[in-house]
Structure 1
Amino acid sequence: MVHAQLDPDREVAVDPVQALRRTAFLLEREQASSFRVEAFRKAASVLLALPAEEFDTRLAAGTLTDLAGIGKSSAELVTQAAAGRTPDRLRKLEDAAGPLVEGGEALRAQLKGDLHTHTDASDGGSPLAEMAFTAVELGHDYIAVTDHSEGLKVANGLDRGRREDQLAQVEALAAPLRPFRLLSGIEVDIGRDGVLDCPPDLLERLDVVVASVHSELRMPGDAMTRRMLAAIRSGRMDVLGHCTGRMVKGGHGRVGEKGRPPSDFDAEQVFAACVEFDVAVEINARPERLDPPRALLRQAVAAGCTFTLSTDAHAPGQLDWQPYGCVRAEECGVPAERVVTTWPVERVLEWTARRRRAALG
């Protein structure tokens, strides 16, 4: 199912599973609570596993809610979709759906992919396949799955065994998704000493390495600068993720509504190192992050940095959050040709391959 807005002036029959997925997608897109969203995604999973004959029987008898995972709201939506009409709840969401933000259209039209996404393997809300197929439906050419590294326990970071399992999943999905490309990746934590929280041999096998600071965000500026420079100069990362760590408002249900101030570091030194070691600065499009702030983003442009524009999506509907980053990038004069995620996947992989070539000497 393509995630396109329905025509409000005509009735459109929607498959019940598609109706549930679309409802969840639109709720995620508008930043609804995860509890509301998960109910519809859970119901979709239950229906997918239900034999067609049992579905028809339960639908006729009105016993869908007897199934674990299908509540009253989900059952009503499914019943309306099965009757050949657009469910009321979905129609209201479609009617309300519109541009997330004004501006940024020119850059968004040039974007081909997303290099920072999360699944339920770490702290995301949906399986890898759901994230990938939603990206296909949105018209992306590629995304990288970048679940957290092992040391970030609060985000259920992946150890070597779970990372190996995910690599196998990525490989298994390659054929069903073609010509779309699902890239293997990681959001690796930058330790206090600047060491990346993943064995070098495993990093070398990944298509994309996003490195971010997640701990001790209030450390003194000179120490934070040394920490970031050590990571960048290691030659083992492709992207510097959400460089200031700020939150402009509460996010992920763990940060207060007042948000979190940016970390202190010497941006001139950090951006110069990014240019020298060909590390892209991430323009993080999550509405509660919008990192880096405009002043630093303009400074990175002046320094000659390359960029990625990524959503840091933790749910399928959040993959559609690119406009939040696009409008800020255009405001700050980011040239589209210096945004890696406007590049075709072959060029992206050639760019990240320099990391592996360097590791081999």
Structure 2
Amino acid sequence: MNIIADLHTHTNISEHAFSTLEENCIAGNKIGLDAVGITNHGPALEDGASHWHFKSLGKNNPGKMHGVYLISGIELNIMQDGSIDLEEEYLSNLDLVIASFHQEVFYPKDKNHVNDMLNEAITNKNINVFGHLGNEIFKFDYEDIISKCNKYDKVVEVNNHSFVQRPGSDVNCLEIIKLCKKYEVPIMVNSDAHISSSIGHFEDAIAVIEKAGYPEELIVNSSMDRLQDYFKHIKGIDILNR
């Protein structure tokens, strides 16, 4: 399986990550990736980036850096009421908006609570991708949400970092990927790297995807043609020519 872009990475703009934007791009180029996405956490997390970071990142994206296409993005927080932690005026300048649950700002009451908030978030036109949905702490009705993703133009991320940091993700992700296959929901494979040496590590994610028999042609970042078509579709931009 060929993955040509790592679109969920963090930089040392956050205290819990350790490399610069340039170091991430250099690492991506070194291992042969075509594109790298910078998606620091939204401001609701204690060490998340401020709104100024995202405004500047969106407006000052050079298009290409150290031989890879640079995708300006964010990993938003889905909040207790299903809202997100950054206003549309800042998100509109970004290429990619990933939305995820994090324990530090979302305290799930039960499975129904998580499901209700996902049903709220799925209608938000600013969100492009749901991040690391396989987290055991945030269980929900997988079929209910996955069956609606195409209606609301949402992609499901398979997050390699989860298989180390979020116990139970392997089993949950397998179930989610099988449902994505059933409903032909596109997925995106990312490392969620917090240091440049983790850029492009997709091994555990790919193993689960292959186990599920998920078709490569539905993986957004499995070729530059697919990636280019995706960004033309969601943002009306040509990432190869800007």
Q: Which of 349, 353, 360 matches 2:231?
A: 349
Shift of 1:271: 0.5
Equivalent residue number for residue 264 of structure 1: 139
Matched, 1:237 2:119: no
SS of structure 2 residue aligned to 1:342: coil
Shift of 1:266: 1.3
Name the aligned partner's letter for residue 116 of structure 1. Answer: H
Change (3 A) 1:125 1:207: same
Q: Say which structure is richer in strand.
A: 2
Q: Report the TM-score, using the length of structure 2 for normalisation.
A: 0.86
Give me the whole-angstrom Cα distance separating, in 2, the residues matched to 1:332 and 1:339. 13
SS of structure 1 residue aligned to 2:199: helix
Change (3 A) 1:176 1:276: closer
Name the aligned partner's letter for residue 212 of structure 1. Answer: S
Give me the whole-angstrom Cα distance separating, in 2, the residues matched to 1:176 and 1:304. 33
Give me the whole-angstrom Cα distance separating, in 1, the residues matched to 2:140 and 2:123. 16
Shift of 1:354: 6.3
Shift of 1:176: 4.6
Name the aligned partner's letter for residue 166 of structure 1. Answer: L
Q: Deviations over 1:245-284 (max 9, x none)?
A: x2xxxxxxxxxxxxxx342311111102212112111111
Matched, 1:114 2:2: no
| C-alpha contact 2:25 2:65 (8 A) present in aligned 1 | no
Q: Report the TM-score, using the length of structure 1 for normalisation.
A: 0.59
Give me the whole-angstrom Cα distance separating, in 2, the residues matched to 1:175 and 1:297. 31
Matched, 1:189 2:99: no
Shift of 1:151: 0.6
Q: How many residue pairs end up in the alignment?
A: 227
Name the aligned partner's letter for residue 228 of structure 2. Answer: E
Q: Which of 78, 92, 100 matches 1:204?
A: 92
Give me the whole-angstrom Cα distance separating, in 2, the residues matched to 1:243 and 1:168. 29
| C-alpha contact 2:54 2:94 (8 A) present in aligned 1 | no
Q: Which of 172, 190, 194 matches 1:314?
A: 194
User: Percent of pairs identical after alignment?
Assistant: 24
| C-alpha contact 2:188 2:219 (8 A) present in aligned 1 | yes
| C-alpha contact 1:232 1:277 (8 A) present in aligned 2 | yes
Equivalent residue number for residue 78 of structure 1: none
Change (3 A) 1:162 1:176: closer
| C-alpha contact 1:218 1:264 (8 A) present in aligned 2 | no
Shift of 1:146: 0.3
Q: CA RMSD in A?
A: 2.0
Q: Which runs of 5+ in 1 are unaligned?
A: 1-106, 247-260, 356-361
Shift of 1:177: 2.9
Change (3 A) 1:270 1:214: same
| C-alpha contact 1:120 1:127 (8 A) present in aligned 2 | yes
Equivalent residue number for residue 160 of structure 2: 285
Give me the whole-angstrom Cα distance separating, in 2, the residues matched to 1:162 and 1:235. 21
Name the aligned partner's letter for residue 129 of structure 1. Answer: E
Q: Deviations over 1:78-136 (max 9, x none)?
A: xxxxxxxxxxxxxxxxxxxxxxxxxxxxx1xx211011110001231101100011101
Shift of 1:217: 4.7
| C-alpha contact 1:233 1:273 (8 A) present in aligned 2 | no
Deviating beyond 4 angstroms after TM superposition, the runs of 4 or more aligned structure 1 residues are none
Equivalent residue number for residue 273 of structure 1: 148
Q: Deviations over 1:38-93 (max 9, x none)?
A: xxxxxxxxxxxxxxxxxxxxxxxxxxxxxxxxxxxxxxxxxxxxxxxxxxxxxxxx
Give me the whole-angstrom Cα distance separating, in 1, the residues matched to 2:233 and 2:131. 17
Larger Rg belongs to? 1
Equivalent residue number for residue 16 of structure 1: none
